[in-house]
Amino acid sequence: MNDYFNMFTLLFIIYPIGSLVLGVIGYLIFKRFYIGPLFVLLLFLILTYTVYNESFLIWAIFYALLAFISSLFTRGLTRLFFRLD
């Protein structure tokens, strides 16, 4: 039960929050909306083949999409409020 709870916590709480944060930080540092999601995808692809198995690949893609959405959202907010280009 404890192992299941830890995996559940990682998959549904820790990894999504980390992906969202990396998407925002990636845009704020590099000013490119694709750098953060690319880093998240590479990180989770490495985790897929070293720690987990191939069934984790769908989660890696999902987390990259989450980072992409948060990066685009951050881009929109910074352009709206700060008029940065």
Report the greatest alpha carbon distance in the chain: 50
- pLDDT of 62: 96
Note the pLDDT tens digit of each residue in 44-61: 999 999 998 899 999 999
* Res 3: pLDDT: 67
- Terminal alpha carbon distance of the chain: 50
Domain borders along the chain are: 16-82
In whole angstroms, what separates CA 79 from the centre of its chain? 21
CB 11 within 8 A of CB 59: yes
- CB 71, CB 34: distance < 8 Å: yes
Q: What is the pLDDT along the chain (85 residues), one digit of tens a residue?
A: 466 668 888 888 899 999 999 999 999 999 999 999 999 999 999 999 999 889 999 999 999 999 999 999 999 999 998 875 5
Q: Which residues contact 9 (CB under 8 A, 6 or more apart)?
A: none
